[in-house]
Structure 1
């Protein structure tokens, strides 16, 4: 990873893991802006950011469906919470259907967070954990939680029909739920999860499908659609521009 970037990643405690994938921190120590590409990864990120050029701000990203060109300003620090989709409904309690491939700027007093929270990443994780546990839902829809357990557990490899049969919920109802709450069909979301699950294989030089793609041509087509480049170009990751890809350790 680019030596000017500092990256940290923390898995949440067990009680939160059905709703939250991770806490993470990214800092650009350089005095220059860094151009990066943000790849679709199926996550919904709540960002707390500060830089020398901008005031403290909080934003919520929707689900990405295409590669996004972005620039990380000099001396920028970002702490983030990456939510799984149940966390959007039950913790954030905020529809993201209208912010596909974009982000929403939130009020400065969102969750009563102030910019000094960016002074200590460990403290940030503890504070946000306490905040989310305090707003835990009194009840959840077991059918939805089972659906997401199957989706994430299979890295999006199950068909919509199979998921429908497993949770006793019609495909039409599932897709209506996804469209209304998240802004895209379930099939599209599963494709993004398969794409993301291929990152470690590609980074380790395995340029053939391992995540239930139909065949080699399907694999190449899906990687290019969601990253903008062929698998071999993604593996090279010139100038560490694919930021999520850069943070994956080589095994």
Structure 2
């Protein structure tokens, strides 16, 4: 788990690590975010297509664990003073095999989990590398002996294309009807496949927008469609997103510089 990046200043620290290859189908990344200051910071969380398991505490909040479902709109949040959060970002297939439950009721929402979930405690927030090792071992112990090949291929195509394949193309590639796929997505995740792919395309544009490429680099129909989708999922225009005033769009602030 050495492939990742780290950004740090006197106020905030961010570190990102890719998971062990044995977890590739289920875990996107491990990451940490720390606010070293005595002041809280207002931030905006953008939809990014991930299921996040947060382990966190702050100067004013005791250790707690929360599971956050998919986001379909920008979410105003506050990064508390002297806060630390270690996070496991899951791919959707993990809900079925690792988390083992539907998350449709967590659309644009989150749930508190027991404070001893998976055997974690506040002590595990002292060392990020050890946290990642412990989380990896726990998830490896939950890995299924086999998975539904059709679903695995579907998600492989969705992620490898950054959501650019149409529902029809995906359906034809995995020999699963569009109607059945959408029923599966809506029942398990609370969202249609098309809507989910739109979120992945939006997320894939983050790096381009931060680099100043304000015209569509993915399969958006045209500039107008691109702007409309960015506004829908971020609340602002691509130009405003690039400005990232006060570093409020936290996912942009933590993107590595190219």
TM-score range relative to shorter protein: over 0.9
| Residue 150 (structure 1) aligned with residue 157 (structure 2) | yes
- Structure-1 separation of matches of 2:23 and 2:8: 31
- Structure-2 separation of matches of 1:109 and 1:25: 19
- Structure-2 separation of matches of 1:82 and 1:135: 16
State the superposition RMSD in angstroms.
1.0
- Structure-1 separation of matches of 2:207 and 2:137: 32
Cα deviations across residues 132-171 of structure 1 (Å, max 9, x unaligned)?
0011112210000000000000000011011000000000
Kindly state the Cα deviation for residue 2 of structure 1 after the two structures are TM-superposed: 8.3
Kindly state the Cα deviation for residue 95 of structure 1 after the two structures are TM-superposed: 1.3
| Residue 195 (structure 1) aligned with residue 202 (structure 2) | yes
Q: TM-score of the superposition, structure 1-length normalised?
A: 0.98
Match of 1:79 in 2: 86
Three-state SS of the structure 2 residue aligned to 1:248 is coil
Match of 1:185 in 2: 192
Cα deviations across residues 203-244 of structure 1 (Å, max 9, x unaligned)?
001000011101000000000110000000000101100001
For residue 220 of structure 2, the aligned residue among 203, 213, 216 is 213
Structure 1 residue runs without a partner (length 5+): none
Cα deviations across residues 146-204 of structure 1 (Å, max 9, x unaligned)?
00000000000011011000000000100010011111000000000000000000000
Q: Which segments of structure 1 move beyond 6 Å, counting only runs of 4 or more?
A: none
Three-state SS of the structure 1 residue aligned to 2:14 is strand
- Structure-1 separation of matches of 2:172 and 2:79: 44
| Residue 235 (structure 1) aligned with residue 242 (structure 2) | yes
For residue 66 of structure 1, the aligned residue among 73, 85, 98 is 73
Match of 2:143 in 1: 136
Trace 1:155-166 onto structure 2 (pairs within 5 A). Answer: 155-166=162-173
Kindly state the Cα deviation for residue 63 of structure 1 after the two structures are TM-superposed: 0.1
Q: TM-score of the superposition, structure 2-length normalised?
A: 0.96
CA contact (8 A) 1:25 1:79 kept: yes
- Structure-2 separation of matches of 1:161 and 1:25: 37
- Structure-1 separation of matches of 2:176 and 2:220: 25
For residue 114 of structure 1, the aligned residue among 104, 113, 121 is 121
Match of 2:4 in 1: none
Alignment size in residue pairs? 251
CA contact (8 A) 1:39 1:244 kept: yes
- Structure-1 separation of matches of 2:26 and 2:218: 23
Three-state SS of the structure 2 residue aligned to 1:177 is helix
Match of 2:175 in 1: 168
Three-state SS of the structure 2 residue aligned to 1:93 is coil
| Residue 46 (structure 1) aligned with residue 53 (structure 2) | yes
| Residue 244 (structure 1) aligned with residue 224 (structure 2) | no
| Residue 125 (structure 1) aligned with residue 136 (structure 2) | no
Kindly state the Cα deviation for residue 94 of structure 1 after the two structures are TM-superposed: 2.2
Three-state SS of the structure 2 residue aligned to 1:144 is helix
